[in-house]
Amino acid sequence: MAQFCIKDDEVDIVIGALQSDLTSFLNAWKPIFSRFHLIIVQDPDLKGDLTIPDGFNNVEIITKADIDKEVGSSLTTKLFSGYSCRYYGYLVSKKKYIISLDHDCIPAKDDKGVQVNAVAQHLNNLGTPATPFFFNTLYDPFRKGADFVRGYPFSMREGVPCALSCGLWLNFADLDAPTQALKPAQKNTKYVDAVMTVPTNAMMPLSGANMGFNRELLGPALFPGLKLTNEGKFRWETMEDVFTGLCAKVVCDHLKIGVKTGLPYVWREERGNAVESLKKEWEGVKLMEDVVPFFKSIKFPPEAVKAEDCMLEIAKMVNEKFGADKNSVYGQAADAIVEWVKLWKK
């Protein structure tokens, strides 16, 4: 399976806007973004118009009114509030590939001081095969200058399509609140020039802050996550992404498509307070002790041949495992999955 070139008109860049003024963010990315169509989804709770600088002519802005018109106000609140607004962009895109970047991310520089083109690296990851069934100890064998190691079966060297590219970031470390509170000075300053395929049956968290994916292969599996019971008081998007990543990974494993992680890096600005975050995150920390064993136990039936089929099976299994209480976190998640798949089919 050879590398292939992804054309610019096959790509949408989706941005979830939780602040009104996007001037500095967009200007930082202008040399990279100018070639692509942008979908900017405004957080339904954000009032007023967005500020978009000059020079961005291929931009689609989606507001709460637009989302309400298509899905109804109840689903807008249920599925697309806060950082989850970005998922509406995934839903309405008509392109094969999506690059998702948050507004607190700007281009990073590599270990030689050269600015990283995160979009190009995501597309390179998605345009080359993944190797989930046999780990290559020299990382991604399809990168320039790399190859398969001694002992790697020739029958498996063709690889499988890469459906998800998970990027990293410098500066603000991707830590949970307890770790941040204990190590407030810890930063991620090391640029590691590596990409690897996540092995089959290995679970992983996910962040929509810096990722790319094949919408046709995986789109329905990237759903607007699990809402915690305190969502009305606190916005805790971390658990939504983590739950989404677990869904996406088990779907990729079943469909025999791959996930890559590593490059590209972005530079992420500081945000939040670890001690305050700990108050809201504890519910999610406890939740993970239930959901990870659940996802590791999932076995899909042979008739689940698409991502949307797998998601509906997950909804059934959630109800069977945790009970069908519609007021519980799990019952609400199962309902949300069904609604999400309906929207994709529509």
**pLDDT tens digit sequence for 71-127:** 999 999 889 988 899 999 999 999 999 999 999 999 999 999 999 999 999 999 999
Per-residue pLDDT at 239: 74
Model confidence at 322: pLDDT above 90: no
CA 207, 208, 214, 218 dihedral sign is positive
Per-residue pLDDT at 232: 44
Q: How confident is the model at residue 182 (pLDDT cuts 50, 70, 90)?
A: confident
- What is the tens place of the pLDDT at every residue in 188-207? 999 999 999 999 999 998 99
Residue that is written with structure tokens 């498509």 in the block? 257
Model confidence at 330: pLDDT above 70: yes
What does the domain layout of the chain look like in residue ranges? 103-345
Using only C-alpha atoms, the chain has a radius of gyration, in whole angstroms, of 19
Classify residue 134 as exposed, middle or buried by CB count within 10 Å of its CB (0-12, 13-18, 19+). Answer: middle
- What is the tens place of the pLDDT at every residue in 264-310? 999 998 666 666 666 666 777 778 888 899 999 999 999 999 999 99
The pTM for the full model equals 0.94
Please write down the long-range contacts of 313-317, taking CB distance under 8 Å and 24 or more positions apart. Answer: 314/247, 314/250
- What is the tens place of the pLDDT at every residue in 332-343? 889 999 999 999
CB atoms within 10 A of CB 97: 23
Model confidence at 230: pLDDT above 60: no
